[in-house]
Structure 1
Amino acid sequence: MPVCPECGTANGEGDDFCGNCGAYLGWSRGAAARATAAPTAAPVAVPAPARAEPESAPVPVPEPAPAPVESTRRSASRRTARTGAEPTREPTPEPKEEPKPEQPPARPAEPPVTEPPATQPPPAAEPPRPSTAPVRPAPAQTPAPAPAPRAPADPVAVQPAKPVAPRPVSRPTETAETQDGPPCPRCGTPNLPERKFCRRCAAPLTPTEAAPKLPWWRTRWPFRRRVRIGGSGNALRRTIALIVLIAVVVAGILLYPAGKVAFQDVLDKLRKTAPIAPAATSASATVEGHPATLADDGLSNTYWGAPAIGDSVTFSFRTPFRLVDLIIHTGDSVDPEHFRQQARPVVLALEVTEKDGTVHTQQVPLNDQPGPQTVQTGISDVTQVKLTVREAAGTGPGRAIALSEVEFFKRT
């Protein structure tokens, strides 16, 4: 079975990837197969084809030629040999006899060859014997070259240089291990329970679940998730969250009035205003011919006359409203020539009463000049407004303190 080259874990024969580390097993399987392969069977010995005998081609019969002089000498030498004398002579070539064709050795039975059998060559002709008759010498002639011998075709012989495939060697195969286990979540291949990676696609068989996405507030300090050596940090986070919650509650209680005022001021800037007329007007003291009702009649050439400093005028309203601001006109006229004929208030005490009885007091300084002067208030649920003269300019015998007009504006 293949062994993983990375971690050394043994795997099944059909596994493509390691079950422990997920490494590919194809390369290790090829190397192991080459290293541990059984030796192949010895190649079948094929007997070499018998050496083909030279084909005895038909030799043309030469014409009788005059025998050379050497033949006479050879005859003489033979005669002398019979008598016992051994004359000196040159060796002469003797005619060679044709060798008889040898019978080829027996061969093992082989499958028939589709090559057609060659025809049996004709029997070789016996060469002529040299003649011993004396002949006249003839001029030397160059002998013609003999044709090259050809090997006879053997119908059973194996063609030279033809490869012979070795016989296959049958080896017992190991029984494949049954893969009974959970299927791969990616390709569905069954795997053994102890495997960590799929044997086909190397996908992890025990994938870890993705952590759920944290809410936005958990990504902000100090609530974001952190790994601590001493613990998970949940106790610290809960303590900090509790402290922050208590601080918010305390701040809300302490800052609620200021927050409410700030919110109302923003609305005063964003929304429009409209004039509102008082339902009733009264004064603590008046000068004859100049009652308190002349302070809210909408005319700036009439006025409420206060006999002395400390006198006051009161304006009452039917329904509570948000008093954004009020506009005050001092003097008996807007004309500068007539403005200084009477005394003018320069400091007024403003008292605003809400529907629950709460009183807001404010000192209002005024300029000693004709024209409107705006006073910012921003008080809600107003039901009554009281103005008291604290300081005046141009006072004297026979002079009244003139307050020509007071305008009130509410938020719409």
Structure 2
Amino acid sequence: MSEKATADGLCPVCGTRGPGGGESFCEVCGTLIDWDTAPSPEAASEPSRAAEEEAADRGRTSAAAGPRPGASETVSRADGEEEPVASGPKPPTAPESAAASEESAAERRSGEGPPAGGPTPAPEAGDGGAGGTASPAAGRAASSQRDQDDAGDAADAGRQRARALLVPVPDAESAEEGVGAVLPGRPVPARPEVRAARADDESGIVCPRCGVDNRPDRLFCRNDGTPLSGVLRAEAPSSGQRPAGWRPRIPWKRVLVIAGALCVLVGAAFLTPVVIREVNEHFSDPAPLPPTAVSASNADAAHPAQAAFDGVSNSWWGTGYSGDSSGQYLQANYGKPVALEKVIITPGASERVEDRSQARPEQVEVLITDSRGRSTVRNYTLADGGVQVVEAEMDDVVQVAMIVRSAYGSADDKQVAIAEVEMFGRS
């Protein structure tokens, strides 16, 4: 609920003078005030008294001035009396006077007309009586119109102030500073890069102080200015002439590379057969190597040396001597060198262990001879009966001899017998 303003147009809470019209909030305390409070009778009579005084002043001024010379005329009445009539324009009527008063009031408010306390210009027409009669009414109309205008302006101002207080207004934000508009510029070529001056490479005289080379025609060093008059000038070798003490440089790196490549090739040439043989030995089984010729130191007529290499075990070779037959041998020869791996020996008259009708070899010496005449001796001890396997690995073999050194079950009526001899390897 709004509060009523005082008769003087002040806020009843804080005493601040308000706009004087409409409802709005006080600018200081924020109280909603009704500023349209009716003025007191004294305040209402003040404009009318001011208007009356102004009209009286105008009448007195017009009467003092009198009629202008040659501006009056006489008018005959019906009763025979003459009445002077002003020759100028007729005095304004009430509406015209009100309009004139409004214009003069507007001029006073805008500051263009004469001041309120100054002399009022005399009216141009008529006598003072007619002018004095119209002035009070015109003054009251002008004062009333001025009061209405002031009240309307105050009401509008109050409404705007109240609306500003009720509706939140965002704070004024400063415009963001951006890049200002600029005119397009002309393309400017890049500035050339300035390089420091560099002395040309020279050779000839070496400065004894700083070690910089100088041309032979220089008398002072180009670096530190040292005199070069007493320095020995070295003569450059002519074209095609090598300096003294020169010797050709040996490209050791290239030599080492070539030597390494040759070593690899030679090693591959020597190792290739070995590698091939090892691969074959690893992935292939030994094959039988039947001899091309057999012989013996001595043999029984019924049991020759060929019986030990016939591939069957029911025939045998006999030494033809009783006892252990020490020194007797059985020999096999090959027409071309072979790679011997193992020898299988079946001692006795047969492969049956229980067959002990003849003596069996115990200590055997195997003599292996290669194609170049080199011999290798290997000694083996055989078991009494059964098939015996003897490992005798050797390459380039052309002859194998088995020499009996002792025997099992030797007697005067028995001879040493070997039922079968088989040799395996790679031909």
Q: Identify the TM-score tier after normalising by the shorter chain.
A: 0.3 to 0.5
TM-score calculated relative to the size of structure 1: 0.44
Where relative contact order (Cα < 8 A, 6+ residues apart) is larger, the structure is 1
Q: Give the number of the structure whose alpha-carbon radius of gyration is greater.
A: 2
